[in-house]
């Protein structure tokens, strides 16, 4: 499958690793929007939250969600952080492998929700 984030998980494209376990990989965003900007993804290819609707992928998603506070702790985000997942065209998703942005390291601007 021609997927950028699958290539990063496989090591075919280099990345700055922050965290890794059996199911999850986290790495620094190449174009950071905050002092800390890390992407947390499942190692298994799942396109988006719609693709997570079947039980098998729901388990993968749970692993990713449980890893997020661990990644935040590794990044010393003791004063809080924001988690964002963009879905589909209207959500502005550019990479079709589900990912959660962790943003922090400063008081974040523009709260949409
Ligand atoms: P999206 O816009 O789909 O929610 O987020 C995709 C993110 O992937 C963007 O923030 C973008 O900067 C990041 N990104 C795109 N290509 C690469 C890459 O090759 N390496 C890394 N580390 N991040 C990337
Ligand atoms: Zn993928």
Assign residue 37 the CATH number of its domain.
3.30.428.10
Whether residue 113 lies inside any domain: the answer is: no
Range of the domain at 73: 4-104
- Hey, what's the torsion of the CAs at 43, 63, 26, 78, to 10 degrees? 180
Structural domains in the chain (count):
1
Name the band, by pLDDT with cuts 50, 70 and 90, for residue 76.
very high
Going by CA atoms, what residue is nearest to atom 21 of ligand 1?
30
Residue (of 23, 27, 24) closest to 13 by Cα position:
27
Name the band, by pLDDT with cuts 50, 70 and 90, for residue 52.
low
Q: List pocket residues of ligand 1, CB cut-off 6 Å.
A: 4, 13, 15, 27-31, 39, 86, 92-95
Whether residue 75 lies inside any domain: the answer is: yes
pTM as predicted: 0.95
- For this structure, is 99 an active site residue? yes
């Amino acid at each position: 499958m021609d997927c950028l984030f699958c290539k990063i998980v496989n090591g075919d494209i280099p990345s700055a690793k922050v965290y890794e376990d059996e199911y999850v990989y986290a790495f620094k965003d190449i174009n950071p929007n905050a002092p800390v900007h890390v992407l947390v993804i499942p190692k298994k290819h799942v396109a988006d939250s719609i693709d997570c609707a079947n039980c098998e992928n729901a388990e993968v998603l749970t692993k990713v969600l449980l890893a997020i506070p661990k990644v935040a702790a590794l990044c010393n985000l003791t004063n809080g952080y924001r988690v964002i997942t963009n879905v589909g065209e209207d959500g502005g998703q550019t990479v079709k492998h589900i990912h959660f942005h962790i943003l922090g390291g400063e008081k974040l601007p523009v709260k949409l929700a």
